[in-house]
Amino acid sequence: MLTTREELDDRLPGAARAWLDEALAEAAHATDRPDTGTGTPDRPDTGNPPSGTGTGNPPWETRFASAGRHCGTEHADAVRALLLIEARPAAPDLARLYAQGTAAERRAVLLTLHRLDLGSAALTLVEDALRTNDTRLVAAAVGPYAAAHLDAHGWRHAILKCLFTEVPVEAVAALADRARGDAELARMLHDFAAERTAAGRPVPADLRTVLALTATPAAAPTEES
C-alpha cells in the first residue's frame, strides 16, 4: 500500500515538502512544453537543476527521476506514485517513462498502474518486469493491475516466477481469488515441487500456500480485481 499525501506530509522534512508541492504543481501541467534546458519567453530558464537540465522531457519527469535524493529513498515510491497520479500520462508516455527509468523509477510505475485508468494498455510493462530477475521489479509487477489484466497463462507464470526468485507470494494481489480452483496452476506447482524433490532441494513454503489455494473450488466470477 502506497503512502498517502497526508502521511507523507507528516514524514517529510520542510524542504522536501516544499519540493513535493512544486513537483506536484508541475505534474498538474504535464502537457506543458518539454524541458529543452534553454528556457522560453513564457518559461524562463533558471539554469538550476532539476528544471532547465535539457532532458527534452516534461519538467515533472525530472522531478520523478530525482525524487529519491529530494525526499529520501524510503519515500521515493510514494512520491513518484503521487506524481504519476497527478500527471496522468497516456499509455505511450508512461511506456517511455518506464523505458527511460531506473529500476527504482520502473518499480514506482508498476506500483501505480492500477491507479491510472489505463485499461490493459500498460500490460506490456508488467510483462517486461516479469521477464527480469530483479526481485524488486517482479514483486511490484504482481500487484492489482496484473491481477486484473494478466491472462491465465501469464498469471500462472508470474506465480512460478515469484516462487523461483523467492518473491513472497504475499506480494501477489488477489492471489486467493485467482488461484481458486485453478487446476492448471496446481499441476504446474506439483511439477515444480517434484523437480525440486528430485534434485534434493527444499520445496518453497510459499508453493504449498498457493497449492492449498488452488484446491478451493472456483466461485462464480465476480467484478473484483
Q: Which residues contact other proteins by CB under 8 A?
A: 37, 47, 49-50, 52-57, 62, 65-69, 73, 76, 100, 102-104, 106, 132, 134-136
Query: Is 135 or 225 the residue whose CB approaches other proteins more closely?
Result: 135
Q: Which is nearer to other proteins, 37 or 168 (CB)?
A: 37
Of 10, 164, 145, 27, residue with least CA distance to 97: 27
For other proteins, give the closer residue by CB, 137 or 147: 137
Cell triple for 108 = 514506482
Minimum gap (Å) between residue 66 Cβ and other proteins? 6
Say which amino acid occupies 122: A
DSSP 97-155: HHHTS-HHHHHHHHHHGGGS--TTTTHHHHHHHHHS--HHHHHHHTSHHHHHH--HHHH
Distance in Å, CB of 69 to other proteins, minimum: 5
**Complex with other proteins: residue 51 or 214, whichever CB lies closer:** 51
Please, which residue, 50 or 143, has the CB nearer to other proteins? 50
Q: What is the DSSP letter of 224?
A: -
Which amino acid, one-letter code, is at 208? R
CA–CA separation, 102 and 45 (whole Å):
26
50 or 204: CB nearest other proteins: 50
**Min separation Cβ 31 and other proteins, Å:** 19
Q: What is the dihedral of CA 147, 166, 139, 106, to 10 degrees?
A: -140
Is 139:161 a contact under the CB 8 Å cutoff?
no
CB nearer to other proteins: pick between 31 and 102? 102
CA–CA gap between residue 55 and residue 100 (Å, rounded): 11
Contact in structure between 96 and 30 (CB atoms under 8 Å): no
Give the Cα separation of 160 and 155 in Å (integer).
9
